[in-house]
Structure 1
Amino acid sequence: MLSINDIKKPIAADIDAFEEKFRNSMKSSVPLLDRITHYIVKRKGKQIRPMFVFFSASICGGINEATHRGAALVELLHTASLVHDDVVDNSYQRRGFFSINALWKNKIAVLVGDYLLSKGLLLSIDNNDFQLLRIVSDAVKQMSEGELMQIEKVRRMDIGEPVYYEVIRQKTASLIASCCACGAASAGASDEVIEKMRLFGEKIGIAFQIKDDMFDFGTDDVGKPLGIDIKEKKVTLPLIYALANCSSSEKKRVINLVKNHNEDPKKIAEIIKFVKDTGGLQYAETQMKKYQEEAFEILNTFPDSDSHRGLEQLVRFTTERDK
């Protein structure tokens, strides 16, 4: 598989320019805020979200200043949500770095999240990017609803496939969908094309999350199983399938393990073995590939180009990764 640097070559200059503009979009006259936002930029990831924005704009008419603002809007609102999530989850690390709340405590982290949110809103309003703001704001709303739905269902252990897909569509897929829709909208695409790109991104997001959920049960690629989702009592697709394809007594036994013994490493290993033996991982892999293929079918309605191929490679990178 190509590296992320190889994939972004067709838009490398735009991504480099975006980095500078994104840093500028977070600047403040308050020294403490500048120190924190500098720390946020320094620990940036692979820039998958901006790449989806830029590639989508490129195949829908071309990258322009609105595309840069759309990518910055997505990053500002998403980063704000991550900062707030770390406070809610009492999480002190993200991507191997200390979280904002770990270094500057909860009150400052919440205020920084609010600041990033307001900067994103003002960036759009000041430039009359109301369509982009609507697209990304809708995604943030869906992410919140999906998280709350999952919390409610986890308490009741009441998750079947339809609920699972609705949760991940809102929690994860809505963000990637907004990246693709923002890119298309920034390039001046029609409403029909914007919706097509939104659906394309949604299918990628669902495939991405299914792949992510598979890692919790271990695959040949990642080695030792982690069982993090089990510890948090999250019922994901591999486990849902396994529970639906076993005897009622076995189902009760496994649900009891997830509910009441989710901190015991031996019990977690037992749940993981049950999922593997019942075909949960194979089923999830099949479903992931189905959504990936549906995304490619949408992508292939666009003419072939460097950006078209770059977007295809980016989809493969996000859905076929090994970690």
Structure 2
Amino acid sequence: MEITKREIGEALRYFETYFATELRSDIPLMAKIMQYLEQRKGKQMRPMFVLLCARLGGELNARSYRAALLVELLHTASLVHDDMVDDATERRGAWSINALWHSRASVMAGDYLFAKGMLLSLSNEDHRILELYAAAIGDMIESELLQLTKSRRPDTSEETYYTIIRAKTASFLAAACAAGASSTVTDPAAVNLVHRFGEKAGMAFQVKDDLFDYGEATVGKPVGNDIKEKKITLPLIYTLNTASPALRKKIMHIVNHQHTDKDKVAEVVQLVRNNGGMQYAEAKMIAYRDEALALLYQFPATGPREALEELVYYITDRSY
């Protein structure tokens, strides 16, 4: 991501120091957990989107950095809680907080990060930024409940899938982009345009994530993991919708009753590959990517716009 490094490389280095500073705690156990999280942070894609969307309107300011920090605090908190709920032992190729310190500490660590984020915004009167993120978090929570009741059913529709990922992933990236833009842009219509751009990019991002479950790349989770969790995503939905009644019955029997059998899961993965499920999902991902870019191109051609274009291509072309 050479263009992104050129545009916000220095800003990202400052952000990393800022993030590490905000994770500090005077309580020894919490300090140890926060240090562990800081050392194993991810690619920080969301802060990149925040900072670049802020740059669309001008130079970065203190509010821009707070918007980037808040999205990373909230995202990290959600991952800690997710691992506890899922009883996951790994995160990004390392032990999860849940595996090392168990559920009670995981809950406290996630709550601590949420509280840090709320205090950061409230103490600086970043009410609009907080409002954007709070709405997205509400969407995320509701989507998780919808996923529990809908995405594990054999009759899960493609539209239900889009509803889930829009609330689960896209709404949060949309909020991040809008929060960044609102720190430098005064025109509400322009901020709304950035919000819509972030949503489309987020949809593409999640479809790409779901494609990994049927691919061959090493991405930090085993192939077929969604099937093991009885999670019906787009590649499988398409395969079920186009399969013969006999094949559909066979696939759903494996998903519902043999999802812990490694060989049976591998069989479903291969059936999805052979019956066009991956190709269909890839086409939908590219469509969302192109919609995001069409919205982005409504802004003048500048370095930040070019970097955002690079980021959008990165999230759909990435191999992990």
Per the normalisation by structure 2, the TM-score is 0.95
Q: CA deviation at 1:215?
A: 1.6
Counterpart in the other structure of 2:276: 279
**Whole-angstrom distance in 2 between the partners of 1:98 and 1:105:** 11
**One-letter amino acid of the counterpart of residue 82, structure 1:** L
1:322 aligns with 2:311: no
Counterpart in the other structure of 2:66: 69
**Whole-angstrom distance in 2 between the partners of 1:44 and 1:92:** 16
**Whole-angstrom distance in 1 between the partners of 2:237 and 2:188:** 36
**Whole-angstrom distance in 1 between the partners of 2:68 and 2:222:** 35
Match of 1:304 among 301, 312, 318: 301
Among all aligned residue pairs of Structure 1 and Structure 2, give the percentage whose two residues are the same amino acid: 45
> Aligned to 2:134, what secondary structure does the other structure show?
helix
Give per-residue Cα distances to partners, 1:181-219, cap 9 Å, x unaligned.
111111133221111111111111111111111121125
1:127 aligns with 2:121: no
**Whole-angstrom distance in 1 between the partners of 2:222 and 2:84:** 27
Q: Would the aligned equivalents of 1:227 and 1:268 in 2 still touch at CA under 8 Å?
A: yes
Counterpart in the other structure of 2:52: 55
**One-letter amino acid of the counterpart of residue 161, structure 2:** Y
Q: Would the aligned equivalents of 1:218 and 1:225 in 2 still touch at CA under 8 Å?
A: no
Equivalent residues in 2 for 1:155-304 (5 A)? Answer: 155-219=152-216, 226-304=223-301
**Whole-angstrom distance in 1 between the partners of 2:97 and 2:154:** 32
1:105 aligns with 2:102: yes
Q: Would the aligned equivalents of 2:152 and 2:231 in 1 still touch at CA under 8 Å?
A: no
Q: CA deviation at 1:62?
A: 2.8
Give per-residue Cα distances to partners, 1:74-101, cap 9 Å, x unaligned.
1111111111111111112110122122
**One-letter amino acid of the counterpart of residue 212, structure 2:** F
Q: CA deviation at 1:6?
A: 5.5
**Whole-angstrom distance in 2 between the partners of 1:189 and 1:97:** 42
**Whole-angstrom distance in 1 between the partners of 2:218 and 2:42:** 20
Q: CA deviation at 1:144?
A: 1.0
**Whole-angstrom distance in 2 between the partners of 1:309 and 1:247:** 45
Q: Which runs of 5+ in 2 are unaligned?
A: none
Give per-residue Cα distances to partners, 1:23-71, cap 9 Å, x unaligned.
2222322232222212211111111111000000001233111000001
**Whole-angstrom distance in 1 between the partners of 2:143 and 2:108:** 23
Q: CA deviation at 1:178?
A: 1.4
Equivalent residues in 2 for 1:23-62 (5 A)? Answer: 23-62=20-59
Count of residues in correspondence between the two structures? 319
Q: CA deviation at 1:154?
A: 3.8
**One-letter amino acid of the counterpart of residue 297, structure 1:** A
Q: CA deviation at 1:225?
A: 7.7
Q: CA deviation at 1:5?
A: 5.8
RMSD: 1.8
**One-letter amino acid of the counterpart of residue 90, structure 1:** D
